[in-house]
Amino acid sequence: MVNPVYFTSGAYLLAVFLCLFAMLRRGKYEALVTGLERRLSNLSAKPLATFFSLFFGVILLRIALLPVLPVPTPEKHDEFSYLLLGDTLAHLRLTNPAHPLWKSFETFHELFSPTYCSKYPPAQGFFLAIGQWLGNPWFGVVLSAAAMVALFYWALRVWIPARWAFLAAFLAGVKLCFTSYWMNSFWGGAPAAIGGAITLGSLARIYRRPAAGPAITLGLGISILANSRPYEGAAFCVPIAIALLWWLAGKTKRPETVPERFRKVILPLAAVLLANFVFMGYYNWRLTGNPRTMPLAVYEARYNPGAIFLWQSPKPPIPQNNHEFDVFYNGWVRSLYKPSWDDIKTVTLKKEKSFVLIFLWWDLILLVPAAFHLLKRKKIRLLYAAFLFTVAAFFFLAWVFPHYIAPALCVVFAIIVTCMRHLRLFHWRGLNMGLFLSRMLVLGLLLQTANAVVTVNEDPAGVGGVRLEDRVALIKKLQTLPGKHLVIVQYAPDHNVHDEWVYNAADPDSSKIVWARDLDRGQNQKLLDYYKDRTVWTIDADRMSSPPRRYSLPVN
């Protein structure tokens, strides 16, 4: 059988030759290429048509790829925590009662007292809840990714020409919405990217015509940031706030007086932000008992002795309730970073590599000369500032995941297409070399994505896709058996603590399958007494071919 990569590579070469002939010979070849570009440019001038084309295009194409790239399954600790959040919200609750046997269910990134909940802010869980209502939480991921791409166009078209805003959104969709963990997992950064895009797009519309509408959407964008990535979102909003205050003070040339600006913009914006402030306080109160204390803060204080920021040192080990937590937090996390120049350089290099891997592609090296012209675009300097503030906040973190810069992601693609605008102007010996190279940038991304699809590579970082296959297989098997089940998970001494099996739904007692840790005899006896109506199994999670077997307490 012919390797499918040959087909995608062959199609790429044909497109390259077509663009090359268009540059060298022009005539019908140039007319063919420019005809396609002109149709897309005409589409980009129709805001509603373009918005919905991008939105539904992402959804339909990703669904069409399901035979090759199936619905992903979770693996990372964070994903299961987000799924708990989505399940909780899907049941129209903000949190869940603490379980009397919570020590048996204790798992990563989830609080078990005073209530049972995820440690994370609710924005990602909101989309997962919508997906769960539609049949699978992942459908919420698809919707959030599609909305992100469409809103990139909506936001950027008031900062840069519409056709370039369309190209930026298109590139973001190709890069992140098919073969990336942003689509093929449950912990991508689409909600925060949506918040950032709405914030930037609303601010530009306020500049154009101050009104309550864009002021309300500005407040909505800031609120989404506060409920998705509050730390990086706050950094992103610093230059936004400065620009808004500068505008309010009348430093920009607009006919409205300062009182008119205050009435039309600041009052509706303040109303939205106040409502969000009240919601966040209520949310915190329901989860932690204190409106000023976020569940994330409670969790980190209770479990995590590691450094969060570069200037912090690991704290002394924290006593844990099970061996896996002790290995993860007091071992792996504490050793992950120490405040030394070597560790700072290591962490920074990891951030750079992950940023390049997830958001960029090799063809962009052609844009390096054009990058020197970026500062000439005075209109979008505010976008640069928002990006730099977000990157600075990311730099000060000891953790390296690239979705931390999600609030400023639309700026990343705005910078790429702005460089392309300058590159297209480059001529060499009468040939429009810049136009040819710009087309190669787009074709290069399309080739990379197509090859990833046909080789079933859901994510270049190895994060997305179908994972923890043995756990998924066991779930499918138990779902076919009558009655309810309790699975007590055992781990080998050399168990990889990043492969965790113990995760439960928002209401474990009503679930068909309950997962529990194998703890001491007394705690396990409490489990058996509590779940008398369930079939009790045990599984060795580190033996790939180990079948589940009926559980019995060990003899003393």
Full DSSP string of 449-476:
HHHHHHTT---TTS-SSS--HHHHHHHH
CA distance 415 to 403: 18
Average pLDDT over residues 42-48: 89
pLDDT attached to residue 52:
97
- Asked if the model's pLDDT at residue 222 lies above 70, the reply is yes
pLDDT attached to residue 515:
98
Closest CA to 87 of 108, 66, 116: 116
What is the chain's mean pLDDT, rounded? 93
Quote the percentage of the chain above a pLDDT of 70.
97
Closest CA to 127 of 140, 118, 138: 140
CA distance 95 to 360: 38
Return the HEC string of 259-293: HHHHHHHHHHHHHHHHHHHHHHHHHHHHHHCCCCC
- Asked if the model's pLDDT at residue 352 lies above 90, the reply is yes
Average pLDDT over residues 411-418: 97
pLDDT, tens digit, 9 for 90 and up, residues 262-308: 999 999 999 999 999 999 999 999 999 999 999 999 999 999 999 99
- Going from N- to C-terminal start, the domains of the chain cover 469-550
- Asked if the model's pLDDT at residue 247 lies above 70, the reply is yes
Residue 313 region, left (φ>0) first, then alpha (ψ -120 to 50), else beta?
beta
| Token pair listed for 211 | 């009104």
Q: Are 187 and 140 in contact (CB under 8 A)?
A: no
- Asked if the model's pLDDT at residue 260 lies above 70, the reply is yes
CA distance 218 to 59: 26
- Asked if the model's pLDDT at residue 1 lies above 70, the reply is no
Tell me which amino acid residue 337 is.
Y
What is the full DSSP assignment across 44-95? Answer: HTSHHHHHHHHHHHHHHHHHHTTTTSPPP---SHHHHHHHHHHHHHHTT-S-
Q: Are 194 and 82 in contact (CB under 8 A)?
A: no
Choose the weakest-confidence range: 102-106, 256-260, 304-308, 346-350.
256-260
- Asked if the model's pLDDT at residue 27 lies above 80, the reply is no
pLDDT attached to residue 427:
79
CA distance 36 to 267: 46
Alpha-carbon 187 to chain mean position:
5
Q: How would residue 236 be classed by pLDDT, with cut points 50, 70 and 90?
A: very high
Q: How would residue 313 be classed by pLDDT, with cut points 50, 70 and 90?
A: very high
DSSP tag of 252 = S
Return the HEC string of 98-113: CCCCHHHHCCCCEECC
Average pLDDT over residues 321-335: 96
Q: Residue 117's beta-bridge partner residues?
A: 111
Q: How far is CA 234 from CA 204, 224, 240, 284, in A?
A: 19, 11, 10, 18
Quote the percentage of the chain above a pLDDT of 90.
80
Nearby residues of 233 by Cβ (< 8 Å), 6 or more positions away:
192, 195, 196, 222, 225, 226, 407
CA end-to-end distance (rounded Å), the chain: 59
pLDDT, tens digit, 9 for 90 and up, residues 105-133: 999 999 999 999 999 999 999 999 999 99
Q: How would residue 33 be classed by pLDDT, with cut points 50, 70 and 90?
A: confident
Phi, psi (rounded to 5 degrees) for 210: -60, 130
What is the model's pTM?
0.95
- Asked if the model's pLDDT at residue 476 lies above 90, the reply is yes
Choose the weakest-confidence range: 6-10, 108-112, 235-239, 442-446.
6-10
pLDDT attached to residue 255:
76
| Token pair listed for 131 | 């997906």
**Residue 276 or residue 255, greater confidence:** 276
pLDDT attached to residue 306:
95
**Residue 534 or residue 254, greater confidence:** 534
pLDDT attached to residue 555:
65
Helix H or strand E encompassing 484: strand 484-490
Burial class (CB in 10 A: 0-12, 13-18, 19+), 214: buried
Average pLDDT over residues 39-55: 91
Residue 102: CB atoms within 10 Å: 15
DSSP tag of 332 = I
Place of tokens 């402030």: 277
DSSP tag of 482 = S
Q: Are 442 and 164 in contact (CB under 8 A)?
A: no
Place of tokens 């270049």: 460
Q: Dihedral, CA atoms, 367, 369, 374, 377, nearest 10 degrees?
A: -100
Q: Cα Rg for the chain, rounded, in angstroms?
A: 26
Q: Are 154 and 160 in contact (CB under 8 A)?
A: no
pLDDT attached to residue 6:
74
CA distance 93 to 28: 62
- Asked if the model's pLDDT at residue 28 lies above 80, the reply is no
